[in-house]
Structure 1
Amino acid sequence: MSAKVKDEHNRWRNKIVAFRMSPEEAEKLDRFVKISGLQKQEYLIRRVLQKEITVVGSIRTYKMLRNELRETVKELKRIETGQSVDDDLLDVIRQINTTLYGMKEDSE
């Protein structure tokens, strides 16, 4: 029997949904979850239900974004002149940009 957990609308979350991913897809998902600052379950629920993902700025979020940007810069430095950027890396860059832009709007 699954553990009962209530969501923000006081509904029981006792249904389990599982699926398989490639290692590359799982790594990309993990990076997006880290960028969002949400727990993986909450991130997936919001994405599947097409709800807005709101990132709350905190020391933890800023450190995580800094670390993701460092990894992204390392990847970009490895790319030789004239080569195209991998689509997965572009997706991560877009996600970081969206997150930072959203945090900027919240602070204004």
Structure 2
Amino acid sequence: MKKGIAKIFCVIGISIFLHTVYSALQHRKYLRLTDQPFEGVPFDIVVECIISLFLFAWGIINSQFLIPIKASTHLAKKSFDSYDYRPNFTVFNHRGKYLNEILNK
């Protein structure tokens, strides 16, 4: 039952956010028609956006879509040397050769 309610909250959060976007676009259009400068989005649109964010976040967190990441089982199968091996970072043309010549004079 909790999973179904969480999905409903996700849908409500997304729909409120889409309404917020539409309201912001309408506000910009109204300002253009009345030749007023854009000074920001009205407070009610900001509050509506924050409410939609919290509803959507609550729905995602409680919907059980998230699974825990267990790296310990994957890391236990390999040695550290296999993770440390990076052949793309191996460089043979570097200053060490010239420093060796200078130091051995």
TM above 0.5, one fold? no
Q: TM-score when scaled to structure 2?
A: 0.32
Higher helix share: 2
Q: TM-score when scaled to structure 1?
A: 0.31
